[in-house]
Structures are given as structure tokens and as C-alpha cells.
Homo-oligomer: A and B are copies of this chain.
Amino acid sequence: MNDLGSQGVARANGTVPGGDTRFTPPCVAAAPEEEAASGWGFKDTRFVVQPNGSVVLTGQRYNISNVELPTLMPWMSKMLVAPLGYENRNEPHYPPQIPAPKQRPALIEQLRKFMQADQLSDDPLVRLRHSHGHTGAEIWAIRYGTLERVADLVVFPQSHEEVVQLVAACEQQDACVIPFGGGTNVTDALSLPQDEKRFVVAVDMRRMNRVLWIDLVNNMACIEAGATGRHITAALAAYGVTMGHEPDSVEFSTLGGWIATNASGMKKNRYGNIEDIVLDMQVVTSHGVMSRPQIAPRESVGTNPRNFMFGSEGNFGIVTSAIVKLFALPAVQHYGSVLLPSLTEGLAFLYELSSSGAVPASVRVMDNTQFHFGQALKPKSAGLAAKARSSIEKFIVTRLKGFDPDKLAVATVVFEGTADEVAFQEKTFYRIAKRHGGMKGGATNGRRGYELTFGIAYIRDLTFEHWAIAESFETSVPWSRAMELYERVHNRVIREHEARRLPGRPFFTGRITQVYATGVCMYFYMGFYCKGVDDPVRQYMEMEHAAREEILAAGGSLSHHHGVGKIRQQFLRDIYSPCALHLVREVKRAVDPNNRFGAGNHGVTDQSATQPHDAGGIAT
């Protein structure tokens, strides 16, 4: 009873197939898809401004790819009160100067005993790419400045055993080991500590991307930690299943990276966040291999060291594989959207929905600016008919239904499940939406809004090239303080922008991206025009720091899913007691006494970063 055929027969007969029901799927070579070296995402995809001022996202990947977007630049210019346009370009100087690597021939020699030549690289561009995780400051640095310290060597292990040997070799040669997944942490987690004097080996895990086994009867799979979301999704879909984890970075981020950052997926309402999905993992530590011979559903087995790994940000070791839950691909997937009078009303709508027992896989509410942002990303209308349609739509929304175009918000939703489940959820969803003044916006807009997440990620690189520095940040907050938090952050951004005498007006928009019984996740974009501004990155970071002060003062968290890394470690003393931070450092020392895994994130090796504030508490 170990083959898929007889499993299917047993299930069709209404019995549970017995025995060891795991199988190893054939290894399907993933189509080579080159990622960009100097910016976000795939190499074939970037926003370019045309001489007529229209913007085109190159390539064919996204719902906004390869069409003229005539209103994006004008809209951004209007919002920033700044002359963004084709002529006004901030030309990148990629690649920057890259520091020469340290030399450690003895280590190389040792690694070459079990690795092929193509598994080691000291190519400057490769080392550069493996020394950042796509924070705005890092991307600005590689395009307009430099990174002061980069990894000395990048290795590409192909198996768990190679990782074991690699860590042993680094132990022997006292090299520092930095695990690398998708390189999309956006927290400076890959940025090397300034005082790191050792030879630094970045370990790119992405050749370890096999599905080691699938168990369709027990809904589990064992997957190598370097598999990216897009590969996992495709490999599992071939068998009618999914692990359901869809962070915004799902195309590029890896299973191991999700664990290390305690990631959250857009469809967590149905599938859970990463800590709910991962049942077990194998980790190479400086003490050896942390693993378990078998795994059962939910256990009470003492202090499970697995628990230390969620959010460990590379501090403890390298996850080489993990056992994850599987879910049947939903029989039904429906998109939807709802126009709402305001963000406040959108929050109230989500609040009521959250206790309805019918929360859809994903539901998000965009604020007014983000609604218009979405409109600005619409392609050139194909003639008069489309324009007329659009005018009629506007008329209905604003005049007939009484929405204020400067206040309305929009919810996008993805329903997934059995036909019955989805029917139940949809009925509940639209009933509650109506009570909050909601008007159906249709499935097409819903799908577009959901998928825009992926295309929109490329826009930061575009704005950089036109003198606008912009980035996202996020938090979670209890329901009762969500609007207060939104307003505080918004007002602080305006005040900071003014106090710093920055040009134009600041860009600010937010959306509510997750609901919990206890509150929501909020995701913000902030930016400003920076031509002529002295050290715009510093200005941006100080403003983000100020925004975070407001977030904490309004009861928000340091991060809902991005993590701490190094970008937010100065705030750790505001969210943990000194003893809690001390324990984290002590545990780090216990798990990794020689700081072999020297990424140095969330203050484990930098006590000064986590000393209590002089003034005590959060500045407001």
C-alpha cells in the first residue's frame, strides 16, 4: 500500500490507506530563471520610463507586465509634489566597488575535498549579492554607494551532508558562517557585523531545493530548506497539494528563510503562519545535527529545540530540511473586492468579520492613497469605450453610491476551500460588508489587487532611479489602537518630513493585510523626493525610526513578519525586559558557543544594541 494508485483506490473506497505512505517525487529540474543582481526580482522584469512618460514593466510575468502605464509617473509626481519623469533620472552606478575577499586557502582546500569547483565562488558580484537582503538602504548602497564589508566566499551546498562537512570545516578554520536563503529579508539580517574579523562564508542554500518525500495520506512533505516558494508551489501542485504559505516574497524566499524570519503568508487564515505549518526541521548547528527520526501530529515532548529556530535569523545554525503540513489545493478559489467608505469603516468591517467564523483565506483593506495607487497602475485605456466605462464607474461610485473619492477604501479578498466552505464564507463576507456600507467591486479587481503585490515590489527600484526614496515597513496592533497607530504614523511622517525640510510632500499609504482575533497587521509605504538631499538614506532611516516610535507608542509590535535583523535591534530594549534579552544572549552562547553563525542578528552578540535606553522607554 505504498504507491499512489492504491492510495487513491483506498480513499475512493472511504478507507484510510495504511502503512508508510511516503514517496519520493521525481526531481524536476526547475526552469532557469535568472534573478536580477542590482534590484528586486527576476532579471527580465523592471519598470522603465518611456520618453512619453508612460511606464512599462518589462517581461511577461505579472498582470501589469508589458503594458503602458501612462498615469503612474504623473500620479507619483503629484503625490510627491516633485518632477518625476523620463528626463529626471538618478542613474545607478551598479556595480559598486567591492572589497577584495580575505584569503583562506586552507579552508578552500578542505571544501574542495567534497565540493565541486562550481560550488564555491569568490566572484565579487556573487559575494555582493550574498551580503544584503534587499532593504532599501542596501539597494541604494549597491546602486549609488558601496557595501563596506561583504562575504569572502559563497558556497552552494547540494546536500545535508555537505552542509555538515562545511560547518565542520568552518569550525576547524574558525570561519564565520552566514546562511543565505532568498536574500529578501529586508532587515539587514545579512549585513555583516562591523566587528566581524573572521573569514566569512555565505552559504547559499538554493541548490538544496528537492522535495525529499511527500505523504499525501498524512498531509506532510519533507522539503530541503533552500527550495524557494515558487518551486515548492509548483512541485506540490503536481500532486494536488500546497503548503499554503504565500509571503509577498514567495517567488524568491526559501523554506529555511521563512523559518529563520518567522514568516507570515497572505493566506494564513486558511493555512496558518510558518510556525503553524512547519512540524519539524533538521538543523546543522555547531554542536552537530539537531533532528528527529520521526514526527507525529502535535506533540508534548519537553523543550523541543525546534522552537528556538523560528525567528532565529541565522544566529543558531542552518536549517537543511523541514517537514511541513500539506493541504489539498482548494476545490474552489474565488476572488472578490468591496469598496468601503473609509479605512476606518474598513477596519470595522474586518473586526466584525474576524469573529464570524467565516474568515476567508486572505482579506486586505487598502487605504485611500493605495486605492488611487492601484488606479494609477491601470494600463492605457483601449479607446473611447473603456474611457466611457471608467467614467460611468466613477459616476456610480461617487454620485450614485455617495462614496467620497478622497476617503474611500477598498478590500480585496481570496476565498479558498470546498464549494460549501467558499459559499458560506462569501455569503458571510458580503453580508457583513454591506452593513459597513460596502459595495461589491467584482472579482477582476479583487484578483488584480491580490496579484499586484508581486508586480508592485519592483516599484522601489523605479522610484530610486527617479530621485524618490521609498520603502515599506509593517507592524501588528490590537484592534482598538489600529486607527490611532495609523494616524500617529501618518502625522509623524508629515512632521518629520517638514522638520527635515525635505523637498515636496512625503508619500504615505497603508493597508491592513491580516486579521487576527486580537488585531491586525498593518503594512505601510513611505517615501519622499530626495534630489539634492544630503544622505537621503540616513534621512529615510531616521524617519522610519521615528515612525517605529509611534508604532510602539500606539501598542504596535516591532514587526509582524519581517523580523528584527539589525535594522530594528535598537528597539529590542523597548519590547523585552533586560532579563529576556539576557536569556536570548545566554541561549545563543549555549547553542553556538563560538559564534560560528555570526550574522549577529537581534542583538545576540551586540549587547550595546540592547542596553536599556538612557531616558527609559520609548520617545514619543
A292: chain B residues at CB < 8 Å are: 575-577, 580
Instruction: Give chain B nearest CB distance to A143 CB in angstroms.
Output: 27
Give complex CA distance A8, B525 in Å: 34
Give complex CA distance A572, B603 in Å: 32
Give complex CA distance A315, B521 in Å: 34
Give complex CA distance A278, B326 in Å: 25
Candidates B263, B311, B587; contact of A301 at CB < 8 Å: B311
**At the interface, yes or no: A590 with Cβ under 8 Å from chain B?**
yes
Map CB proximity to B onto A526-564 as digits: 1 under 8 Å, 0 otherwise.
000000000000000000000000001001111111111
Q: Is the CB of A305 within 8 A of B584?
A: yes
A483: chain B residues at CB < 8 Å are: 16, 18
Number of interface residues of A (CB under 8 A): 118
- Supposing A215-B478, A315-B303, A601-B302 touch, asked if A518 and B288 sit within 8 A by C-beta, the answer is no
Instruction: Give chain B nearest CB distance to A8 CB in angstroms.
Output: 14
Q: Is the CB of B311 within 8 A of A479?
A: no
Instruction: Give chain B nearest CB distance to A23 CB in angstroms.
Output: 12
A218: chain B residues at CB < 8 Å are: 478-480, 518-519
Instruction: Give chain B nearest CB distance to A332 CB in angstroms.
Output: 11
Q: Is the CB of B296 within 8 A of A561?
A: no
Instruction: Identify which of residues 424-438 in chain A touch chain B, using a CB-to-CB cut-off of 8 Å.
Output: 424, 428, 435-436
Give complex CA distance A48, B575 in Å: 55
Candidates B304, B344, B356, B519; contact of A296 at CB < 8 Å: B519
Name the CB-closest residue of B to A416.
B357
Name the CB-closest residue of B to A574.
B293
Integer count of this chain's copies in the complex: 2
Q: Is the CB of B352 within 8 A of A478?
A: no
Instruction: Identify which of residues 479-505 in chain A touch chain B, using a CB-to-CB cut-off of 8 Å.
Output: 479-484
Q: Is the CB of A217 within 8 A of B479?
A: yes
Give complex CA distance A232, B401 in Å: 48
- Supposing A300-B261, A307-B310 touch, asked if A579 and B15 sit within 8 A by C-beta, the answer is no
Instruction: Give chain B nearest CB distance to A320 CB in angstroms.
Output: 13
Instruction: Give chain B nearest CB distance to A281 CB in angstroms.
Output: 11
**At the interface, yes or no: A582 with Cβ under 8 Å from chain B?**
yes
Q: Is the CB of B421 within 8 A of A300?
A: no
Residue of A218, A298, A310, A476 with highest tally of chain B CB at under 10 A: A298
A311: chain B residues at CB < 8 Å are: 300-304
Q: Is the CB of A20 within 8 A of B480?
A: yes
Give complex CA distance A479, B556 in Å: 41
Give complex CA distance A206, B604 in Å: 36
Instruction: Give chain B nearest CB distance to A42 CB in angstroms.
Output: 26
**At the interface, yes or no: A516 with Cβ under 8 Å from chain B?**
yes
Q: Is the CB of A357 within 8 A of B302?
A: no
Name the CB-closest residue of B to A296.
B557
Q: Is the CB of A561 within 8 A of B300?
A: yes
Q: Is the CB of A587 within 8 A of B590?
A: yes
Name the CB-closest residue of B to A478.
B218
Q: Is the CB of B355 within 8 A of A297?
A: no
Candidates B556, B562, B575; contact of A293 at CB < 8 Å: B575
Q: Is the CB of A589 within 8 A of B590?
A: yes
Map CB proximity to B onto A502-525 as digits: 1 under 8 Å, 0 otherwise.
000000000000101111110000
A517: chain B residues at CB < 8 Å are: 219, 297, 325-327
- Residue contacts A-B, CB under 8 angstroms, 25 given: A15-B348, A18-B481, A19-B480, A19-B484, A219-B517, A287-B583, A290-B580, A295-B557, A296-B475, A296-B519, A297-B477, A299-B558, A300-B562, A300-B563, A301-B563, A302-B313, A302-B602, A302-B603, A303-B315, A303-B588, A305-B584, A305-B587, A357-B418, A586-B591, A587-B590
Q: A290-B577, A302-B584, A357-B420 are in contact. List 9 more A-B contacts (CB 8 A).
A: A290-B579, A296-B519, A296-B560, A297-B477, A297-B519, A301-B311, A301-B575, A304-B311, A305-B576
